[in-house]
Chain A
Amino acid sequence: MQSEIINGEFSRSELLRREFLTVMGASIAMAGFACAKRPVHKIIPYVIRPEEIIPGVPTWYASTCRECPASCGVLIKNREGRPIKIEGNPDHPLSKGALCARGQASVLGLYDPDRLRFPLLRSRNEQQSHQAAWPDVDEKIQAKLGEIANKGGRLKILSGEITSPSTKKLIKEFLAAFRNAAHVEYEPLGHDDITEGQWLCYGNAVLPAYSFGTAQVVLSLGADFLGTWSDSMEYASDWVKGRKLDSTRAASAHLSRLICFEPVMSVTGANADERYPIRPGDEIKVALAVAYELVIRKNHPLFSKNEKLVSVLKSYRPELVADEIGLRGGTGVFSALAAELWAARGKSLVIAGGIQSRTKDSLSLQVAVNLLNSVLSNEGTVVDGRRKYKRRKYKTRSSNTTSLINLISEMKAGQVDALIIYRSNPAYTLPQGVSGFDEAVSRVPLVIAVSEYEDETAKLADYVLPDHHYLENWGDSSQGNGVLSLQQPAMAPLHSSRAFEDTLLTWISGAKLNDWHHYLKANWQESVYAGQKAKLGADNSFERFWENSLRKGALTLGELGAPQPRDFIFDSIKQLPHYSRVTDGMALSLYAKVSMFDGRNANNAWLQELPDPVSSATWDNYLNIAPLAAEKLGLSENDVMEVSSGKVSAELPIHIQPGMHPNAVSIAVGYGRRAAGKVGTLAGIDAYQFMKIEGGKLVCSGQRVSLRKTGRTYELARTQWHTSTENRPVINEISFDEYKKNPAAANHTDPHLRLDKIPTMWPAVEYKGHKWGMAIDLNACIGCGACAIGCQAENNIPVVGRQQVRNNRHMHWIRIDRYYQEKSGVVFQPMLCQQCENAPCETVCPVQATVHDDEGINAQVYNRCVGTRYCQNNCPYKVRRFNFFDHWKSYGEPMNMVWNPDVTVRTRGIMEKCTFCIQRIREAKEKAKDSGMKVKDGDIKPACQQSCPTGAIVFGDLNDPNSMVSKLVSDARAYRVLEMLNAKPSISYLTKVRNKSRAGG
Chain B
Amino acid sequence: MMLMTTAESLVITSEAIAIQPVPMLTGVKSFGDINDDVAKPLESFPTWRWWAVFSMAIAAFVIGLALATKMFTTGMGVLGINHPVGWGVFIVNFVFWVGIGHAGTLISAILFLFRQRWRTAINRAAEAMTIFAVMTALIFPVIHTGRPWYAVFWLLPLPNERGLWVNFRSPLLWDVFAVGTYFTISLVFWFVGMIPDIASVRDRAKHKIRKFIYSVLSLGWNGSNKNWRHYEAAYLLLAGLSTPLVLSVHSIVSFDFAVSNVPGWHTTIFPPYFVAGAIFSGFAMVVTLLVITREVFNLKSYITIGHLEKMNKVIMATGLMVGYAYACEFFIAWYSGNSFERFTFINRAFGPYWWAYWTMATCNVLIPQVFWWKKARTSLPVMFVISLFVNVGMWFERFVITVTSLHRDFLPSSWKYYIPTIYDWGITLGSFGWFFIWFLLFCRFLPIMAMAEVKGTMASHVNTNGGEKMAREAAGHA
Output the nearest chain A residue to B409 by Cβ-Cβ distance.
A876
- List the B side residues contacting A730 at CB < 8 Å: 411-412
Q: Please measure, in the bound complex, the distance between the C-alpha atom of A411 and the C-alpha atom of B84, giving whole angstroms.
A: 57
B227 to chain A, nearest CB (A): 41
In the complex, the answer to whether A874 meets B170 with C-beta atoms within 8 Å is no
Q: Choose, from B25-33, B144-152, B267-275, B459-467, the stretch at the interface.
A: B144-152
In the complex, the answer to whether B410 meets A877 with C-beta atoms within 8 Å is yes
If A867-B147, A876-B261, A981-B261 touch, whether A817 touches B413 (CB-CB below 8 Å) is yes
In the complex, the answer to whether A878 meets B411 with C-beta atoms within 8 Å is yes
If A867-B76, A873-B260 touch, whether A878 touches B83 (CB-CB below 8 Å) is yes
Q: Please measure, in the bound complex, the distance between the C-alpha atom of A846 and the C-alpha atom of B175, giving whole angstroms.
A: 10
Q: Which of B144, B170, B409 contacts A846 (CB 8 A)?
A: B170
In the complex, the answer to whether A866 meets B146 with C-beta atoms within 8 Å is yes
As a 0/1 sequence over residues 962 to 1001 of chain A, the CB contacts with chain B under 8 angstroms (1 = contact) are 0000000000000001100100000000000000000000
If A727-B339, A910-B146 touch, whether A844 touches B77 (CB-CB below 8 Å) is no
Output the nearest chain B residue to A718 by Cβ-Cβ distance.
B416
In the complex, the answer to whether A728 meets B176 with C-beta atoms within 8 Å is no
Q: Which of A728, A865, A885, A911 contacts B74 (CB 8 A)?
A: A885
Inter-chain pairs besides A728-B339, A909-B146, 16 sampled, C-beta below 8 Å: A721-B415, A725-B412, A809-B82, A819-B412, A846-B170, A866-B147, A866-B148, A866-B154, A868-B144, A869-B81, A873-B262, A882-B83, A884-B75, A884-B77, A908-B76, A909-B147
Output the nearest chain B residue to A911 by Cβ-Cβ distance.
B146
In the complex, the answer to whether B416 meets A808 with C-beta atoms within 8 Å is yes
B183 to chain A, nearest CB (A): 18
Q: Please measure, in the bound complex, the distance between the C-alpha atom of A601 and the C-alpha atom of B165, giving whole angstroms.
A: 48
Q: Which of B146, B166, B260 contacts A874 (CB 8 A)?
A: B260
- Residue A953 CB within 8 A of the other chain: no
In the complex, the answer to whether A808 meets B339 with C-beta atoms within 8 Å is no
**Which 7 residue pairs of A and B lie closest in terms of their CB atoms, listed nearest first?**
A867-B146, A909-B146, A884-B77, A869-B86, A878-B414, A817-B413, A846-B172
As a 0/1 sequence over residues 903 to 927 of chain A, the CB contacts with chain B under 8 angstroms (1 = contact) are 0000011110000000000000000
**Max chain B C-beta neighbours (<10 A), residue from A728, A817, A846, A911:** A846
Q: Please measure, in the bound complex, the distance between the C-alpha atom of A877 and the C-alpha atom of B412, giving whole angstroms.
A: 9
Q: Give residues of chain B (400-439) contacting chain A, Cβ–Cβ below 8 Å.
A: 406, 408-416
- List the B side residues contacting A977 at CB < 8 Å: 411
- List the B side residues contacting A807 at CB < 8 Å: 80, 82, 416
A-B contact pairs, 6 of them (CB 8 A): A721-B416, A804-B77, A807-B80, A866-B151, A867-B146, A873-B260
Q: Give residues of chain A (689-708) contacting chain B, Cβ–Cβ below 8 Å.
A: none
- List the A side residues contacting B172 at CB < 8 Å: 844, 846, 868, 870
In the complex, the answer to whether B339 meets A867 with C-beta atoms within 8 Å is no
As a 0/1 sequence over residues 366 to 399 of chain B, the CB contacts with chain A under 8 angstroms (1 = contact) are 0000000000000000000000000000000000
B462 to chain A, nearest CB (A): 52
In the complex, the answer to whether B146 meets A848 with C-beta atoms within 8 Å is no
- Residue A872 CB within 8 A of the other chain: yes
B265 to chain A, nearest CB (A): 8
- List the B side residues contacting A831 at CB < 8 Å: 411, 413
- List the B side residues contacting A494 at CB < 8 Å: none
- Residue B358 CB within 8 A of the other chain: no
In the complex, the answer to whether B87 meets A869 with C-beta atoms within 8 Å is yes
A975 to chain B, nearest CB (A): 15
If A868-B151, A877-B410 touch, whether A885 touches B144 (CB-CB below 8 Å) is no
Q: Which of B77, B154, B259, B337 contacts A885 (CB 8 A)?
A: B77
- List the A side residues contacting B166 at CB < 8 Å: 846-848
- List the A side residues contacting B65 at CB < 8 Å: none
In the complex, the answer to whether A819 meets B413 with C-beta atoms within 8 Å is yes
Output the nearest chain A residue to B79 by Cβ-Cβ distance.
A884
B407 to chain A, nearest CB (A): 10
- Residue A575 CB within 8 A of the other chain: no
Q: Please measure, in the bound complex, the distance between the C-alpha atom of A848 and the C-alpha atom of B166, giving whole angstroms.
A: 6
- Residue B155 CB within 8 A of the other chain: yes
Residues in chain B within 8 A of chain A (CB atoms)? 74-77, 80-84, 86-87, 141, 144-148, 150-151, 154-155, 164-167, 169-173, 176, 256, 259-262, 337-340, 343, 406, 408-416
In the complex, the answer to whether A726 meets B412 with C-beta atoms within 8 Å is yes
A80 to chain B, nearest CB (A): 30
Output the nearest chain B residue to A724 by Cβ-Cβ distance.
B412
In the complex, the answer to whether B260 meets A844 with C-beta atoms within 8 Å is yes
Q: Please measure, in the bound complex, the distance between the C-alpha atom of A399 and the C-alpha atom of B419, giving whole angstroms.
A: 50
If A721-B416, A753-B339 touch, whether A847 touches B155 (CB-CB below 8 Å) is yes
Q: Please measure, in the bound complex, the distance between the C-alpha atom of A846 and the C-alpha atom of B415, giving whole angstroms.
A: 26
- List the A side residues contacting B76 at CB < 8 Å: 867, 882, 884-885, 908-909
A49 to chain B, nearest CB (A): 35
Q: Give residues of chain A (845-889) contacting chain B, Cβ–Cβ below 8 Å.
A: 845-848, 864-870, 872-874, 876-878, 880-886
Q: Give residues of chain A (715-774) contacting chain B, Cβ–Cβ below 8 Å.
A: 720-728, 730, 750, 752-753
In the complex, the answer to whether B170 meets A720 with C-beta atoms within 8 Å is no
B155 to chain A, nearest CB (A): 5
Output the nearest chain B residue to A810 by Cβ-Cβ distance.
B83
In the complex, the answer to whether A726 meets B343 with C-beta atoms within 8 Å is yes
B62 to chain A, nearest CB (A): 24
- List the B side residues contacting A728 at CB < 8 Å: 339-340, 410-412
- List the B side residues contacting A869 at CB < 8 Å: 81, 86-87, 146
Output the nearest chain A residue to B410 by Cβ-Cβ distance.
A876
- Residue A840 CB within 8 A of the other chain: yes
Q: Please measure, in the bound complex, the distance between the C-alpha atom of A845 and the C-alpha atom of B169, giving whole angstroms.
A: 8
- Residue A564 CB within 8 A of the other chain: no
- List the A side residues contacting B406 at CB < 8 Å: 873
- List the A side residues contacting B416 at CB < 8 Å: 721, 807-808
As a 0/1 sequence over residues 814 to 855 of chain A, the CB contacts with chain B under 8 angstroms (1 = contact) are 010111000000000101000000001001111110000000
In the complex, the answer to whether B411 meets A809 with C-beta atoms within 8 Å is no
Q: Please measure, in the bound complex, the distance between the C-alpha atom of A978 and the C-alpha atom of B338, giving whole angstroms.
A: 13
Q: Please measure, in the bound complex, the distance between the C-alpha atom of A113 and the C-alpha atom of B412, giving whole angstroms.
A: 39
In the complex, the answer to whether A867 meets B145 with C-beta atoms within 8 Å is yes
If A727-B339, A869-B146, A909-B145 touch, whether A840 touches B170 (CB-CB below 8 Å) is no
- List the A side residues contacting B338 at CB < 8 Å: 752-753
Q: Please measure, in the bound complex, the distance between the C-alpha atom of A819 and the C-alpha atom of B415, giving whole angstroms.
A: 13
If A809-B77, A885-B77 touch, whether A981 touches B410 (CB-CB below 8 Å) is yes
Q: Which of A727, A809, A870 contacts B260 (CB 8 A)?
A: A870
B69 to chain A, nearest CB (A): 15
In the complex, the answer to whether B150 meets A866 with C-beta atoms within 8 Å is yes
Q: Please measure, in the bound complex, the distance between the C-alpha atom of A808 and the C-alpha atom of B145, giving whole angstroms.
A: 19
In the complex, the answer to whether A881 meets B75 with C-beta atoms within 8 Å is no
Q: Please measure, in the bound complex, the distance between the C-alpha atom of A723 and the C-alpha atom of B411, giving whole angstroms.
A: 10
- List the A side residues contacting B146 at CB < 8 Å: 865-869, 882-883, 908-911
Output the nearest chain B residue to A881 by Cβ-Cβ distance.
B83
- List the B side residues contacting A876 at CB < 8 Å: 261, 409-411
Q: Please measure, in the bound complex, the distance between the C-alpha atom of A981 and the C-alpha atom of B172, giving whole angstroms.
A: 22
B375 to chain A, nearest CB (A): 46
Q: Please measure, in the bound complex, the distance between the C-alpha atom of A570 and the C-alpha atom of B325, giving whole angstroms.
A: 81
Q: Please measure, in the bound complex, the distance between the C-alpha atom of A319 and the C-alpha atom of B176, giving whole angstroms.
A: 74
- List the B side residues contacting A808 at CB < 8 Å: 82-84, 414, 416
In the complex, the answer to whether B167 meets A846 with C-beta atoms within 8 Å is yes
- List the B side residues contacting A865 at CB < 8 Å: 146-147
Q: Please measure, in the bound complex, the distance between the C-alpha atom of A724 and the C-alpha atom of B408, giving whole angstroms.
A: 13
- List the A side residues contacting B262 at CB < 8 Å: 873-874
In the complex, the answer to whether B86 meets A845 with C-beta atoms within 8 Å is no
Q: Please measure, in the bound complex, the distance between the C-alpha atom of A883 and the C-alpha atom of B416, giving whole angstroms.
A: 18
Q: Give residues of chain A (343-400) contacting chain B, Cβ–Cβ below 8 Å.
A: none
Output the nearest chain B residue to A851 by Cβ-Cβ distance.
B167
Output the nearest chain B residue to A847 by Cβ-Cβ distance.
B154
B167 to chain A, nearest CB (A): 4
In the complex, the answer to whether B412 meets A722 with C-beta atoms within 8 Å is yes
A39 to chain B, nearest CB (A): 18
A716 to chain B, nearest CB (A): 14
B172 to chain A, nearest CB (A): 4
Q: Please measure, in the bound complex, the distance between the C-alpha atom of A911 and the C-alpha atom of B146, giving whole angstroms.
A: 9
If A722-B415, A847-B166 touch, whether A872 touches B80 (CB-CB below 8 Å) is no
